[in-house]
Amino acid sequence: MVNRSFLMSFVLTYIVFHFYSIYDLDFTKDLIDFLTIKRLNVSLKYILVWTSLETDPLYKLQRARKVFIEKACPITNCFVTGNRNLLQNLSEFDVIVFHAPEFVQKGVRELPQIRKPHQKYIFASMESAAYYPICNEIFLNFFNWTWTYKLNSDLNYAYLSVWDKNGHVIGPKQEMHWMKVEDMLPINDTLKAILSNKTIAAAWFVSNCEAPSGRDSVAKKLQAELQTYGMRLDIYGFCGTMQCPRSSMDECLRKLRSDYYFYLSFENSFSDDYVTEKLLHALDNYAIPVVYGGANYTRFMPDGIYLSANTLTIKDLAKKMVDLIQNKELYYEYFKWHNHYIYRDVVASVTTDPYCKLCEAINNEEIMSQTTIYENIGMWWSPEKCQTKTNGSSNKKSG
């Protein structure tokens, strides 16, 4: 005999599908997933994405439990939806996620009108705070958690992770305790062989040619200065003369690994802790990173393994690069870190994966029971931009 509750769920699903599919296919998919999981008697934690599900990092959340299951997260009972009507009312969602840049791009059109103390409102952004400051006073005492690249976020979404050789995640973080390069072990012959085959000074893969940081001008000046030494800086993409389409990035990175001594890890804007995959391009492919951005880079790397266009003049930077290329033993010093540290994309392990960590946090009763709120999210996120627009501190209140 067919289970009555199963039959009722099937009938309801059938009716809803035919009624709503012509209006909102995503609504229908979410509801079908919801009813299917409910029949399995799984205790769910509900994540409502208030803003668009099509923006990074939210589009990777996908829908229902898919992302957590596909990533083999330790906990997979989190259910993601963009449908505000999936549950009886908004207060039943455990967390509501807001993609902050959307408020800058489209304005604040609508916010939840029903809120319960147990809920967590999450401020999410992978975009630079310099590009997308949030200074609107409507967000005073609004957000409970932050989920961004900033290292003091409640849920961190850095672009990379740092591991020691014992398999422990050690960074990046605001206070790092690195080994000094002079205390590190020398590189082995295998790595020397890779490095000794390089022939071209530097590469840069870039598509945004007029970034607020002014990186394009810095790169062009460095390119000209290197030419006086008879050396090349190859600029790939819309801003240069060489091609490296995103669809061929793996091939481009192989070329970086085999041919180039340095890679320009230049950020599009200056913002605290804003260090993107550009740094990982260099570190993963045996090129010394030349950094340019608003971060304190010692939170991400030990001194002595990178060069900084923030602190060196163009002439001094080019001279330093040339000196290292011409003195192999000095160049090798910049790679001794390989004996002690490993750099990875954060999504390469469930230990650091931001989506797994989100679901874990929502399932942590101790964390969820804490009452926290950001008095002034603007002063935490983009204090330089919001200083004159809002009052108050960025203090996170706990209760």
Tell me how far apart the alpha carbons of residues 238 and 233 are, in angstroms, rounded to a whole number.
Answer: 15
What are the residue ranges spanned by the domains of the chain? 4-158+352-398, 180-339
- Amino acid type, 376: N
The pLDDT value given to residue 70: 96
- Strand (E) positions, 36-176? 45-49, 78-81, 95-99, 120-125, 145-148, 155-156, 160-164, 169-171
Q: Measured at the alpha carbon of residue 155, what is the angle toward residues 149 and 161, in degrees to the nearest 5?
A: 55
Residue 193: both structure tokens together? 């062989």
Model-wide pTM > 0.85: yes
28 pLDDT exceeds 90? no
Query: 14 pLDDT exceeds 50?
Result: no
**Average pLDDT rounded to a whole number, residues 88-111:** 93
What is the band of 26 on the pLDDT scale with cuts at 50, 70, 90?
low
The size of the chain, in residues, is: 399
**Rounded distance between C-alpha atoms, residue 155 and residue 153, angstroms:** 5
Question: How does the average pLDDT of the chain come out, rounded?
Answer: 89
Report CA-CA distances (Å) from 218 to 14, 267, 290: 60, 12, 11
The predicted structure's pLDDT at residue 22: 38
- Decide the pairing of beta strands 160-164 and 169-171: antiparallel
The pLDDT of 258-285, averaged and rounded, is 97
Ramachandran assignment for 91, one of left (phi > 0), alpha (psi -120 to 50 degrees), beta (any other):
alpha
| Percent residues over pLDDT 90 in the chain | 76
| Residue 276 main-chain phi, psi, to 5 deg | -105, -170
Query: Which pLDDT value is given to residue 135?
Result: 94
**Position 389 confidence tier, pLDDT thresholds 50, 70, 90:** low
Please name which of 337, 59, 2 lies closest in space to residue 178, comparing C-alpha atoms.
337
The domain 180-339 belongs to what CATH superfamily? Glycosyl transferase family 10, C-terminal domain (3.40.50.11660)
pLDDT value at residue 122: 98
